[in-house]
């Protein structure tokens, strides 16, 4: 029953992370073995170092998920030269990336240029209009990093359970400058939460709660389908139509945000009371719309159904 509850739980989060860490290790070992005959001795040694690094660091999924996704794609396309070039390019400064919940700017030295290009494509891929992400200025990065640290302290004070789950599921936070992107996560960048600079300071904690909820579902959906359904549908959080899994994500995220604000309203917090009440009033009917649509259009696994019902209890 541990996974049937939509409320945060650090034990559950660590179980999921261990499962996906093990799957990632197995995938890289498979790729290493599959491509061994194509690589030089020095390239094979680099790949071995990478897989060994991952095994030693179960708390760090990003940037290994990005590496794995890229190498799988190159291997499937039999793009040997691209595979070798990317493997050679994959270098990062361990002290910068290994600090858990560390905040770093897009484009810094912890990843190679080819990886940042892939990162940008992933982060902007779902925008219908032209979008970009860039390195923030030193000033806006410092300001945003401070907002993140302050928000994490506030989350820990308001709900230790939410904070513990964030610690379990989020490896790093990245700050970008963008014309469209505000905050986001991706299964391909598992463990990474990205935030835009120059955002509303009242929203920082919500963005982190929001993206951590996505991280939880990404980890869970690697083990269980949760829901399925045909077609694209109106989403409570996006202008563009979304697949049914996206609507499920939206409902789950909204339940978490509403629950967090309800907890915050009973405590002393730097978050303005009228702001939190306004957010709850805005999100509650949108949760109901998403819930009703899911009940009409989606097919659930046992876990998916019980998790959705648990989220409903948090909201209504």
Report the 10 Å Cβ neighbour count for 230.
10
Nearest CA-CA partner of 186 in 123, 254, 234, 239: 123
The model's pLDDT over 42-76, given as tens digits with 9 standing for 90+, comes to 878 877 877 787 777 776 677 677 777 777 777 77
Q: Residue 15, class by beta-carbon neighbours within 10 Å (0-12 exposed, 13-18 middle, 19+ buried)?
A: middle
The model's pLDDT over 140-188, given as tens digits with 9 standing for 90+, comes to 999 999 999 999 999 999 999 999 999 888 988 999 999 989 999 988 8
Query: In the chain, where are the structural domains located?
Result: 2-201, 224-315
The reported pLDDT for the residue numbered 140 is 97
The reported pLDDT for the residue numbered 92 is 47
In the three-class reduction of DSSP (H, G, I as helix; E, B as strand; rest coil), residue 208 is classed as helix
* Residues of the chain where predicted confidence (pLDDT) is lower than 70: 1-2, 59-60, 63, 78-79, 82, 85-100, 109-112, 114, 128
Distance between terminal CA atoms of the chain?
22
The reported pLDDT for the residue numbered 93 is 41
Helices 64-76 & 10-34 angle (0-180, nearest 10): 40
Query: Helices in the chain by DSSP H: which ranges?
Result: 10-34, 41-56, 64-76, 80-89, 94-97, 113-124, 138-158, 160-169, 204-221, 244-264, 273-297, 302-315
Tell me the two tokens of residue 80: 């040997």
pTM: 0.88
Q: Please say whether the beta carbons of 6 and 253 come within 8 A.
A: no
């Amino acid at each position: 029953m541990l996974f049937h509850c939509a409320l945060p739980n650090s034990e559950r989060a660590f179980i999921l992370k261990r499962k996906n860490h093990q799957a990632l290790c197995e995938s890289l070992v498979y790729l290493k073995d599959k491509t061994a005959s194509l690589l030089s001795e020095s390239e094979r040694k680099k790949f071995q170092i990478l897989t060994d690094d991952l095994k030693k660091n179960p708390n760090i999924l990003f940037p290994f998920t990005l590496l794995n996704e890229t190498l799988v794609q190159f291997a499937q396309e039999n793009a040997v030269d691209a595979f070798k070039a990317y493997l050679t390019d994959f270098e990062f400064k361990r002290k910068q990336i290994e600090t858990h919940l560390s905040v770093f700017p897009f484009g810094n030295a912890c990843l190679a240029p080819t990886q940042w290009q892939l990162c940008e494509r992933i982060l902007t891929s779902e925008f219908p209009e032209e979008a970009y992400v860039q390195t923030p200025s030193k000033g806006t990065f410092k300001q945003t990093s401070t907002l993140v640290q302050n928000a994490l302290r506030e989350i820990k004070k308001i709900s230790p359970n939410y904070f513990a789950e964030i610690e379990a599921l989020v490896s790093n936070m990245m700050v970008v400058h963008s014309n469209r992107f505000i905050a986001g996560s991706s299964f391909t960048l598992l463990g990474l939460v990205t935030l835009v600079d120059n955002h509303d300071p009242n929203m920082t904690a919500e963005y982190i709660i929001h993206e951590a909820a996505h991280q939880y579902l990404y980890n869970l959906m690697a083990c269980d389908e949760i829901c399925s359904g045909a077609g694209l549908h109106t989403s409570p959080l996006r202008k563009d139509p979304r697949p049914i899994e996206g609507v499920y994500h939206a409902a789950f995220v909204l339940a978490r945000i509403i629950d967090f604000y309800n907890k915050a309203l009973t405590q002393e917090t730097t978050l303005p009371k009228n702001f939190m009440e306004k957010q709850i009033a805005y999100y509650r009917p949108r949760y109901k719309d998403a819930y009703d649509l899911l009940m009409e259009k989606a097919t659930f696994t046992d876990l998916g159904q019980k998790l959705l019902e648990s989220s409903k209890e948090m909201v209504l």
